[in-house]
Amino acid sequence: MKALAEKAKRDLDLIRYPRTDWMKRTEHNGQPVLDVAIIGAGQGGLAAAFALKRLNIDNVCVFDRAHRGGEGPWVTFARMITLRTPKYVTGPDLGVPSLTPRAWFEARYGNDAWEDLNKISRHDWQSYLDWYRDTLGLPVENDRSFQHVAWENGVLKLTFADSAGNEAVRYARKLVLATGIDGGGCWNTPAFIREALPRERFAHTSEAIDFEALRGKRIGVLGAGASAFDNAATALEAGVGSVDLCLRRKVVPSVNPYRWMENTGFLSQFAALPDLLRWRFMAHIYDLNQPPPQDTFWRCRRHKNFTFHTGCSWDAVRMEDDEIVVSTPLGQKRYDFVIIGTGFTVDLAQRPETASFASSVALWRDRFAPPEGEWHATIAAHPYLGDVYQFLPKTASDPKAPMLAAIHNFTFSATPSMGLSGSSISGMRFGVERLVRGLTRDLFVTDGQYHLDSLLAYNTPELVSTEPPVE
């Protein structure tokens, strides 16, 4: 691993051009102003920081609320055994072979292990990201929970809190939100469940769950997606009494649109499509949903105490004699604990990162009216983004418009506007390139006069003598 890290550094030195420090340094209220602040030190945030570093934009800092090594879902609430993407996927490496997941895996386990590998485990993916961060020396501050953003004389004022509740303020010219799947809203537990059950009797798939405490219990799981099956499998392996997985759909989803999306045209150029085509792409993709991987499905089915019920929505729940009673079209079901795998809700007002300006952000429903019969409430609730992930105002006269232009939404909620991007391994390579190209453009153009003045003041002679040297 050490040898691979040294090779990666050597490779980066070989292709390091330009080498000139070109950015303008500024201060605000006596503090240095970051060129770019990145919220989230998972795969998207780290890759964005690396891409900026390669362009000699190094006045950057990445902030994450988690402790070191706990960023993202991989060793926290993700409960699949492996990634869902093919093992040959690239992205964080940005085209540098010695930084690829394959190079890391072969250095750690050997070439034969790579050949035998089906998919990379989630724990190995976190270890790879940790190695990547250390090898590149990326500037990350952990234990920094982002609380609020405000616009102050042309600069973003960012407020953070540590685990002890101590607040600190940092300033930045650009802000990138790389806060993952739920970064555009919040995890969704239906209100009729939240309001009917004691808090200790249910959990969302995104939460910490003490599966050992559920040993021997009857578990109900609601959801048709991969995370619902992941949690069902984890519960079964922990020795629960039984698992019923209930889904509204008539059949378990089987077609995975993500595999189709993994082509160069879609990954690199989706954002250039007209609104109607983007809307229709996303309507089909969202309606298909992402099915559980085959190995995850088998992971559940191998247990005789696992059952799944199609066409089985949960219409109501209640407590009765210490049992959870669920009303469904297939009759009543009784459980000791329920796990909710109903995904997330896109609502910028629910996130501290975006709540202060959520009412000003243009959503798809504000910018596009689909043909009759093609309305899609899920897509309509997503932010309608500019060409490099920046938020746009509902009205050009909104006083928050300049602030919105400085905030770039690199979360899953960018998908209807930009396609797969920062929170998707499959789309990271192209998403990071687009994001960082836009950040660089904006920073350079804003400082255009400064760079002209720098040129006019440049007087370093290259020709130092009119006489040839004496041999």
Nearest to 425 by CA among 36, 100, 69: 100
Peptide linkage before 73 cis (omega within 30 of 0): no
471 residues of the chain, pLDDT tens digit each: 999 999 999 999 999 999 999 999 999 999 999 999 999 999 999 999 999 999 999 999 999 999 999 999 999 999 999 998 889 989 899 999 999 999 999 999 999 999 999 999 999 999 999 999 999 999 999 999 999 999 999 999 999 999 899 999 999 999 999 999 999 999 999 999 999 999 999 999 999 999 999 999 999 999 988 999 999 999 999 999 999 999 999 888 888 888 899 999 999 999 999 999 999 999 999 988 778 888 899 999 999 999 999 999 999 999 999 999 999 999 999 999 999 999 899 999 999 889 999 999 999 999 999 999 999 999 999 999 999 999 999 999 999 999 999 999 999 999 999 999 877 898 999 999 999 999 999 999 999 999 999 999 999 988 877 777 777
User: 123 and 172: one domain?
Assistant: yes
User: 337 and 352: one domain?
Assistant: no
- The total domain count for the chain is 2
Provide the pLDDT for residue 125. 96
Phi, psi of 98 (to 5 degrees): -75, -5
Strand 337-340 versus strand 344-346 pairing type: unpaired
| Contact present, 201 and 337 (Cβ < 8 Å) | yes
All residues at 6 or more sequence positions from 88 whose CB lies less than 8 Å from its CB, including other chains: 102
Instruction: Measure the CA–CA gap between 234 and 355, rounded to whole angstroms.
Output: 34
Instruction: Measure the CA–CA gap between 14 and 232, rounded to whole angstroms.
Output: 48
Structure-derived torsion over alpha carbons of residues 65, 71, 72, 73, reported in degrees to the nearest 10 = -110
All residues at 6 or more sequence positions from 200 whose CB lies less than 8 Å from its CB, including other chains: none
- Look at residue 51 and give its three-state secondary structure: helix
> Of 342, 365, 385, which closes a domain?
342
User: 144 and 68: one domain?
Assistant: yes
User: 230 and 106: one domain?
Assistant: no
Provide the pLDDT for residue 146. 96
In 10 A of CB 387, how many CB atoms?
Answer: 13
Domain assignment of residue 165, yes or no: yes
| CATH code at position 420 | 3.50.50.60
Q: State the residue range of the domain holding 23.
A: 2-184+345-453
User: 179 and 30: one domain?
Assistant: yes
Domain assignment of residue 174, yes or no: yes
